[in-house]
Amino acid sequence: MRPTKRDELVQKALQVFYQNGFHATGMDMLVKETGISKTSMYKHFRTKDDLILAVLRLRDEYFRNWLYRRIEELADIPIEQLIAMFDALEEWFDEPGYKGCMFIKASSEYQDSSHPIHNQAADHKRMLEIHFTAIAMKAGLPNPKLLTRQLLLLKEGAIVTAHLGHTENPAQDAKKAAIALIEASSP
């Protein structure tokens, strides 16, 4: 199925927002970078915020699908999948054009917790927590919810540290800490 003009706009806008941020990207920049007119943009989205929400939904779909699939490719056993998350992150950090997490950026630029963009970013993180809690439960680890929250704190810290670029390999540093947490929580 061929992408619609709306789909094309969201895909192109995703790249522009990822590279430049949300507040720094105005409609004029979107027009210039996407090649799509303001009239066409407003035909599909009433406001810039509506476009940002669509971009975040698309990024969520892309990122979670990639991460879940990649972890399953790297490891078959649930406990190893929890650790493989950090190997997948390392691959992401090494990609050309890595600019950090779009959801961390969104929640930072839209700090009011009642703002729809902030909520969309938080929903992405909640869905990751649900998924990894299920894996921790399959692994038979005690207190899987607590362990998952701890592992995701390591994940988020690695993402920010990779973006700041002041550590050689934050994904592997986080992986070592994750292994220690898992071993300490295992019966």
Q: Which CATH number covers residue 153?
A: 1.10.357.10
For residues 53 and 51, give the distance between their C-alpha atoms in angstroms, rounded to a whole number: 5
- At 85-133, the pLDDT tens digits run 999 999 999 999 999 999 999 999 999 999 999 999 999 999 999 999 9
Q: What is the span of the domain harbouring residue 180?
A: 5-185
pLDDT at 37 over 70: yes
Burial call 68-94: b when 16+ CB within 10 Å, e when fewer: bebbeebbeebbebbbbbbbbbbebbe
What domain count does the chain have?
A: 1
Q: How many other β-carbons are positioned within 10 Å of the β-carbon of residue 143?
A: 11
pLDDT at 1 over 90: no
- At 38-82, the pLDDT tens digits run 898 999 999 999 999 999 999 999 999 999 999 999 999 999 999
Q: How many other β-carbons are positioned within 10 Å of the β-carbon of residue 122?
A: 14
C-beta of residue 30 within 8 angstroms of C-beta of residue 76: no
Mean pLDDT score, 26-31: 91
- Token pair for residue 104? 């961390």
